[in-house]
C-alpha cells in the first residue's frame, strides 16, 4: 500500500514537472467558445421561397404555395456536409421574407401554408433528425428582420420573435449556434423595428445554455466584416463592444475583420461566404460555383487566420444540394486532406533558447490537450531540425487559446546551408495560423516569436509541402 502511494505521488510529481506553469492571460474563451473553435468549418443552408422565385431578398408577400421542393432530402445535405468534413449545418429557419421553414404557431406564412407535403412538412425537424442520424451538429438562423409579419415595426413583434425563437429552441433538440444577421429594413407597414436583443439573448441562453450566438458584436461570435470569406491576417479573438450595436451601429468592418488587440471580450470571428455568388440557389449560377482550389483558398484565409468558415451551399428547387456544389465540396476536402497529410516536423529535433526544453515534443504531438509554454515573453526562438533536406512551403502554428491569445509578431526563417533567411513575418496566431510562403528546400526552420502580450503558449507547430495552391 505504502509503495503504491509512493508510486502515485512520484507519478504526480513527474506529471507536474512535465507541464510548464499555467497562468491564464484574460480575456479567455468560454467552454462553448472553445468547442466552437474546434469546429473550423461548417455549412450554411439558405433555402425558402427565394429558391423558387429566383430572389435574394423576398418581399414577404410571396404566395406560400411557391415553396414546393419536389424531392427535399435533408439527409442528403447532412451526408454531403459530413463527407466534406464540415462539422455542422446552420439553416435559415426564417429569412427576411418571414417565411418559416417550420409550422410556427406565430405566423401565417409557413411551410404549413405551402403545398409541400400538403402543408404537413417541417424542414427544421427533418434537418435536425438528419443531423442526429448522420452525426453532425445543427445551428439555426432566425432573421430578426421580417418583411411579412403584420406586427413588425411595433413592440408586439419582439414578443412574436421571442415566441418563434422559443418554438425553435425548445422543440428540435440542441443547436450549436444561433445566427443573427444585422439587416434591419422596413416591414410590411413601412416601419423599422427596435429589437429587444437583450431579451432575445437572455432567453436563448436560458433555453439552450450551450449555444454560441453570432451577430455583428457577438455576444459569442462576431461577424468578420465581409461576406467574401476572409479574416484579417491580424486577427484578435478580442473585441470591444461598448457603444456599438448590431447592424448600422456595428464597429467598423476592419475592426470586425481584425478584432481589438486589447479588446475586453473574447468574441472570435466567423467568415460567412457562399459557394455561389448568391446566398440562395439560382440555376444561372451553376456555372459560377467556386472551384475546390478557390474554396481551399478561402479556408486558408478563414481557418488559416484563426477563425471559422461558414460556407453556404444552397439546395436547388428539388430540395437537394446540386451535383455541381457537392462535387466542388468533395474536391475541397481532397485538397485539404492532401495538403495536411504529412507533417514534416513530427520527427524533427526541436531546440529553443528558453529554459523550457523538456516538453518541446508537445509542439509536434498533434494532441489538442498538450502544449508548450515559453519562459520568455519576447524573442522565443524555436528551431526544427529535420533529418534531411525537405521541400516545404507552409507552417501551421497553433496557440493554446484556452489560456488566452498572446502572440503579436513572429517570423519564419529557413536555413540555406550558410545562414537563415526570412520567408514570412506574421502577426497574430490564435487558434490556428496557416502560413504559406515560396517553396523552400531546407533541413532547419527557425520560428521566432518576437513580440507577445504574455509568454507564448503553443499547442502545435507543423510543416507542410502543399502542392495545390
Dmax over Cα atoms in the chain, in whole Å? 80
- Which of 310/397 has CB closer to ligand FUL? 310
The CB-of-423 to ligand FUL minimum distance in angstroms stands at: 36
C-alpha cell at 368: 489538442
- By CB under 6 A, tell whether 279 contacts ligand FUL: yes
Q: Which is nearer to ligand FUL, 52 or 371 (CB)?
A: 52
Smallest gap, in angstroms, from Cβ of residue 271 to ligand FUL?
11
In 3-state terms, what secondary structure has residue 83?
A: helix
CA dist 45 and 369 (Å) reads: 32
Between 74-84 and 123-134, two packed helices, what is the crossing angle to 10 degrees?
40
Q: Which is nearer to ligand FUL, 188 or 278 (CB)?
A: 278
55 vs 333 by CB, closer to ligand FUL: 55
Calculate the alpha carbon distances from 87 to 35, 82, 308, 401 in Å. 11, 7, 11, 20
Q: Does 281 bind ligand FUL (CB under 6 A)?
A: no
**In angstroms, what is the minimal distance from the CB of 272 to ligand FUL?**
5
Q: Which of residues 51-70 bind ligand FUL (CB under 6 A)?
A: 56
Count of residues near ligand FUL by CB under 6 A: 5
- Residue 16 Cβ, how far from ligand FUL at the closest point, in Å? 48
Closer to ligand FUL by Cβ: residue 146 or 272 = 272
**Residue 370: CB minimum distance to ligand FUL, A:** 37
CB of 140 to ligand FUL, least distance (A): 13
Minimum separation from the CB atom of position 466 to ligand FUL (A): 29
Q: At its nearest, how many Å lie between ligand FUL and the CB of residue 125? A: 22
Q: Which is nearer to ligand FUL, 227 or 441 (CB)?
A: 227
- In the complex, the smallest distance separating the C-beta of residue 263 from ligand FUL, rounded to whole angstroms, is 23
Q: C-alpha cell of 355?
A: 529554459
- Please check whether residue 111 is in contact with residue 100, taking contact to mean a CB–CB distance below 8 angstroms: yes
Which distant-in-sequence residues (6+ apart) come within 8 Å of 188 by Cβ?
A: 60, 61, 147, 148, 149, 150, 152
Residue in the shown chain whose Cβ atom is closest to ligand FUL? 181
User: Given the complex with ligand FUL, which of 37 and 46 has the nearer CB atom?
Assistant: 46
Least gap, CB of 238 to ligand FUL (angstroms): 24
- Does 296 participate in binding ligand FUL (rule CB under 6 A)? no
> Is the preceding omega at residue 27 within 30 degrees of 0, hence cis?
yes
Per-residue mark of binding to ligand FUL, 380-419 (x: CB under 6 A): ----------------------------------------
Residues 6+ apart with CB under 8 A from 278: 56, 285, 314
Question: Position of cell 508510486?
Answer: 7
**Residue 272 within binding range of ligand FUL, rule CB under 6 A:** yes
Name the residue among 98, 57, 80, 58 with its Cα closest to residue 315: 80
Q: State whether the Cα torsion 342-347-351-357 is positive or negative.
A: positive
Question: Is the Cβ–Cβ distance between 82 and 136 less than 8 Å?
Answer: yes
**Beta carbons of 336 and 342 less than 8 angstroms apart:** no
Q: Which of 40, 21, 38 is nearest to 29 (CA)?
A: 38
Q: Binding of ligand FUL at residue 464 (CB under 6 A)?
A: no
Q: Find the shortest distance in angstroms from Cβ 175 to ligand FUL.
A: 17
The secondary structure of 243-269 as a DSSP string is T--SGGGSPPHHHHHH--TT-SEE--E
Binding marks (x or -) toward ligand FUL, 172..191, rule CB under 6 A? ---------x-x--------
Cα 57 from Cα 131, distance rounded (Å): 27
Calpha distance 149→153 (Å, rounded) = 9
Which residue, 313 or 457, has its beta carbon nearer to ligand FUL?
313
User: Is the CB of residue 122 less than 8 Å from the CB of residue 73?
Assistant: no
Q: Minimum CB separation from ligand FUL for residue 144, in Å?
A: 10
Provide the 3-class DSSP secondary structure of residue 43.
strand
Query: 390 vs 345, 352, 384, 435, CA distance in Å?
Result: 10, 21, 12, 17
146 vs 181, beta carbon nearer ligand FUL: 181
Helix (H, G, I), strand (E, B), or coil: what is residue 385?
Answer: strand
Please, which residue, 56 or 75, has the CB nearer to ligand FUL? 56
Is the Cβ of residue 183 or residue 436 nearer to ligand FUL in the bound state?
183
For residues 29 and 314, which CB has a smaller minimum distance to ligand FUL in the complex?
A: 314
Q: How far apart are CA 294 and CA 328, in angstroms?
A: 10
Residues that bind ligand FUL (CB under 6 A): 56, 181, 183, 272, 279
Amino acid at each position: 500500500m505504502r509503495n503504491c502511494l509512493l508510486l502515485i505521488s512520484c507519478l504526480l510529481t513527474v506529471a507536474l514537472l512535465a507541464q510548464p506553469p499555467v497562468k491564464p492571460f484574460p480575456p479567455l474563451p468560454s467552454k462553448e467558445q472553445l468547442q466552437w473553435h474546434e469546429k473550423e468549418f461548417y455549412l450554411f443552408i439558405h433555402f425558402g421561397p427565394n429558391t423558387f422565385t429566383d430572389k435574394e431578398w423576398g418581399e414577404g408577400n410571396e404566395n406560400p404555395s411557391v415553396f414546393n421542393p419536389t424531392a427535399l432530402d435533408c439527409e442528403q445535405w447532412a451526408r454531403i456536409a459530413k463527407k466534406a468534413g464540415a462539422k455542422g449545418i446552420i439553416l435559415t429557419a426564417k429569412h427576411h421574407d418571414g417565411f418559416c421553414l417550420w409550422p410556427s404557431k406565430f405566423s401565417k406564412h409557413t411551410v404549413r401554408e405551402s403545398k409541400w407535403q400538403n402543408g404537413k412538412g417541417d424542414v427544421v425537424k427533418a434537418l435536425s433528425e438528419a443531423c442526429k442520424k448522420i452525426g453532425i451538429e445543427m445551428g439555426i438562423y432566425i432573421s430578426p428582420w421580417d418583411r411579412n409579419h403584420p406586427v413588425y415595426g411595433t413592440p408586439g413583434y419582439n414578443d412574436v420573435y421571442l415566441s418563434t425563437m422559443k418554438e425553435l429552441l425548445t422543440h428540435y433538440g440542441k443547436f450549436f449556434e444561433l445566427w443573427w444577421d444585422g439587416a434591419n429594413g422596413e416591414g410590411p407597414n413601412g416601419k423599422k423595428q427596435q429589437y429587444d436583443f437583450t431579451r432575445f439573448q437572455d432567453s436563448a441562453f436560458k433555453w439552450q445554455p450551450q449555444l454560441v450566438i453570432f451577430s455583428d458584436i457577438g455576444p459569442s461570435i462576431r461577424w468578420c466584416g465581409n461576406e467574401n470569406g476572409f479574416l484579417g491576417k491580424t486577427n484578435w479573438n478580442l473585441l470591444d463592444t461598448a457603444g456599438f450595436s448590431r447592424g448600422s451601429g456595428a464597429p467598423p468592418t476592419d475592426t470586425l475583420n481584425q478584432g481589438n488587440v486589447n479588446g475586453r471580450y473574447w468574441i472570435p470571428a466567423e467568415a460567412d461566404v457562399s459557394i455561389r455568388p448568391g446566398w440562395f440557389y439560382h440555376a444561372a449560377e451553376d456555372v459560377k460555383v467556386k472551384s475546390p482550389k478557390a474554396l481551399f483558398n478561402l479556408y486558408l484565409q478563414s481557418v488559416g487566420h484563426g477563425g471559422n468558415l461558414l460556407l453556404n451551399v444552397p439546395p436547388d428547387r428539388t430540395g437537394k444540394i446540386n451535383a455541381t456544389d457537392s462535387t466542388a465540396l468533395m474536391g475541397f476536402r481532397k485538397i485539404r486532406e492532401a495538403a495536411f497529410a504529412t507533417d514534416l516536423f513530427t520527427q524533427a529535433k526541436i531546440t529553443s533558447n528558453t529554459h523550457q526544453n523538456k516538453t518541446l515534443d508537445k509542439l509536434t504531438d498533434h494532441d489538442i490537450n498538450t502544449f508548450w509554454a515559453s519562459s520568455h515573453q519576447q524573442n522565443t526562438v524555436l528551431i526544427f531540425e529535420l533529418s534531411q533536406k525537405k521541400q516545404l512551403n507552409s507552417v501551421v502554428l497553433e496557440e493554446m487559446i484556452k489560456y488566452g491569445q498572446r502572440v503579436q509578431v513572429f517570423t519564419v526563417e529557413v536555413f540555406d546551408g550558410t545562414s537563415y533567411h526570412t520567408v514570412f513575418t506574421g502577426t497574430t496566431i490564435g487558434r490556428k495560423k496557416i502560413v504559406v510562403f515560396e517553396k523552400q528546400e531546407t533541413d532547419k526552420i527557425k520560428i521566432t516569436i518576437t513580440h507577445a502580450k504574455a509568454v507564448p503558449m503553443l499547442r502545435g507547430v507543423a510543416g507542410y509541402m502543399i502542392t495545390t495552391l
